[in-house]
Amino acid sequence: MADPDARRLLWFLFAGSRGGENRIRIIDLLKEQPYNTNQLAEKMGLDYKAVQYHMTVLEKNNMVTKAGEKYGVLYFISNYLEHNIDAFYEVKAKIDRKARK
């Protein structure tokens, strides 16, 4: 069972703010493999600065971790998110259902 604080944080990051949809897409990509900011921007068709902003928000909230330096930095989903991944899927599913209405 997910930590209730984690669930609240996930709601805030992914449903309660304008960039939530892009942050969900970023997490979905990082679950498959690590990426750097430039690779994410290319893969998502977004501006580098926009992806950089989302990565900062996700890192500050312990959703992603990074390894490497400067342009070689690779992002991974964090152990915290890994531990609360069911809550992430739950929030994502509810957001998807709302979007389809």
pLDDT band at 1 (very low <50, low <70, confident <90, very high): low
> What are the boundaries of each domain within the chain?
4-100
| Architecture of domain 4-100 in this structure | Orthogonal Bundle (1.10)
Per-residue pLDDT tens over the stretch 24-81: 999 999 999 999 999 999 999 999 999 999 999 999 999 999 999 877 899 999 999 9
- Start-to-end CA distance of the chain, whole Å, equals 28
